[in-house]
Amino acid sequence: MKYTTIPKTDIKVSKICLGTMTWGNQNTEAEGHEQLDYALEQGVNFIDTAEMYPVPASPETQGETSRIIGSWLKKRNNREQVIIASKIVGRPSDYTAHIRTSGLQGNSIAEAVDNELKRLQTDYIDVYQIHWPERETNTFGKRDYVHNPSDEWTDNFNEVLHKMDEQIKAGKIRHVGLSNEKAWGTMRFLEESKSHSLPRMRTIQNAYSLLNRTYEGDLAEISMREDIGLLAYSPMAFGVLSGKYIKGTAADNARLKLFPRFARYSSEQCTEATKRYLKIAEDNNMTLAEMSLAFVNQQPFVTSNIIGATSLEQLKENINSINVTLSDAVLEQINAVHAVIPNPAT
């Protein structure tokens, strides 16, 4: 395994992070524990979860993923061996109304942290992230920003950081981070922390893959110049970048078969780009999964690559990507596809 540090901290994390959002829905508790055991044996020490998980979100399963991690931590008694990141839901919506409808207002952050600590059966969370912005903006595959003057959101960056600071001082979280954030929001948080001596956002967890390289715009520059690390999620594009949907080998419990509403990576352009990437991988004696993950692993702005799997075999292949280094020739071929079909998933 290879390791990095969360920017401006002494927290050492594996370059591969174990994503968990299928546990409690597509995966059982026993399977979650099996994945955790295997990942830890391979040197993976970083685990990502959220109060909303598993996905798709529902009142019946909410928090189950973190409960599975918590039961594993209790059984193995190894909390000091792992770094745990979790998230609080952002802007209220019908999708998460069963969790709360108050966003980050009032006591929401304090209550969310306490509830997550109980599920995880731990006293602290290493990195606590805002799952998506409270304001109305273009997240989750929405290509362009269109300003809505009727959006009732008010600028509360300072208030949110003060509440996070309370949790840090109470010893309940160590550091804070963002998720699904844009360049403006990221810089506003950094500005508030610098101007008012408040906690600094250390990481940003956004989608990044061969099919969605939009992070390489303004946010990559922010990562490099401001030292805020990307925790790349969906590096396999919901499994599309395994090639299994093109080859017709997807199992019945594959994500897009179970949940076709997650169609962000299923457009004609995504399919065509994936076919071209598959050919590059096969011509260079790699699986598409290995090439896709190695591409993310090699980016200088990536602190950790969040991989997820519904089977142990998938997990083994995904973790093994850390041993794959893409040559300049392969990167040139990848960029040639990107030049013709740029960011088809957005």
- The DSSP secondary structure of 187-231, one letter per residue, reads HHHHHHHHHHT-PPEEEEE-B-BTTB-GGGTHHHHHHHHHT-EEE
The secondary element (H helix, E strand) that includes residue 334 is helix 328-340
For residue 242, name the pLDDT band (cuts at 50, 70, 90).
very high
pTM: 0.95
Catalytic one of 3, 53, 145, 277: 53
Closest CA to 236 of 218, 216, 250: 250
Q: Note the pLDDT of residue 256.
A: 59
Distances (CA, A) of 153 to 134, 149, 179, 186: 7, 10, 18, 17
What residues contact 342, with CB distance under 8 A and at least 6 apart?
A: 213
pLDDT digits (tens, 9 = 90+) for 186-232: 999 999 999 999 999 999 999 999 999 999 999 999 999 999 999 99
Average pLDDT over residues 275-290: 96
Q: How large is the angle between the packed helices 64-76 and 29-41, nearest 10 degrees?
A: 60
pLDDT digits (tens, 9 = 90+) for 317-335: 999 999 999 999 999 999 9
Percent of the chain residues past pLDDT 90, beyond the cut: 90
Whether pLDDT at 252 is above 90: no
Q: Note the pLDDT of residue 142.
A: 87
For residue 246, name the pLDDT band (cuts at 50, 70, 90).
confident
For residue 257, name the pLDDT band (cuts at 50, 70, 90).
low
State the average pLDDT for the chain: 95
Per the annotation, the verdict on 245 as an active-site residue is: no
Q: Are residues 99 and 132 in contact, defined by beta-carbon separation less than 8 angstroms?
A: no
Distances (CA, A) of 139 to 132, 134, 202, 211, 282: 8, 11, 20, 16, 33
SS3 label, residue 258: helix
Q: Note the pLDDT of residue 265.
A: 86
Q: Note the pLDDT of residue 250.
A: 63
Task: Give the separation between CA 247 and CA 239, rounded to whole angstroms.
Answer: 12
Closest CA to 93 of 135, 55, 122: 135
Whether pLDDT at 245 is above 90: no
Write out the two tokens for 160.
């949110």
Task: Give the separation between CA 298 and CA 295, rounded to whole angstroms.
Answer: 6
As beta bridge partners, residue 16 has 305
Write out the two tokens for 136.
């109305």
User: What letter represents residue 208's amino acid?
Assistant: Y
Write out the two tokens for 299.
């980016």
Closest CA to 54 of 21, 19, 99, 32: 21
Closest CA to 304 of 24, 74, 48, 112: 48
For residue 261, name the pLDDT band (cuts at 50, 70, 90).
low
SS (H, E, C) 66-99: HHHHHHHHHHHCCHHHCEEEEEECCCCCHHHCCC
Q: How large is the angle between the packed helices 29-41 and 312-320, nearest 10 degrees?
A: 30
Task: Give the separation between CA 23 and CA 267, rounded to whole angstroms.
Answer: 27
Q: Note the pLDDT of residue 72.
A: 98
Closest CA to 63 of 17, 111, 120: 120
